[in-house]
Amino acid sequence: MASHPTPTELRALWQELNARYFSNRLPGIAILWSAQLTASAGLFVNRAGPRHPDSSPDRRCIKLSLPLLGAQPRHELLGTLAHEMIHQRSEEHTSELQSQFRISYAV
């Protein structure tokens, strides 16, 4: 990847993964580049709390590390995005979720 994807391109990647692996069941969410996120490649942020019914985009988002992913190959970005989408689906690490995590490494 010569340069990092734009917010519109990130949204399209999210929609592609949502259709392919989640049957379009995930609600829309903001996908943001973060220059400050350096401890991990991606992060699912839930400002509402795990049991709060409000899933509006201003309460939840996926942040992607610009320093760690910005110049990486596309498959690295897709794997990280898929991984964070699994957290979007369920914040708990159940055995079912553990098997779904394999998706993010097969992308």
Q: φ, ψ for residue 68 (rounded to 5)?
A: -90, -30
In terms of Cβ atoms closer than 10 Å to its own Cβ (0-12, 13-18, 19+), residue 51 is: exposed
Burial 12-31 (b: 16+ CB within 10 A, else e): ebbeebbeebbeeebeebbb
Residue 92 annotated in active site? no
The active-site residue out of 16, 76, 84, 92 is 84
Which residues are within 8 A (CB) of 20 and not within 5 positions of it... i.e. 6 or more apart?
none
List, by residue number, the catalytic residues. Answer: 84
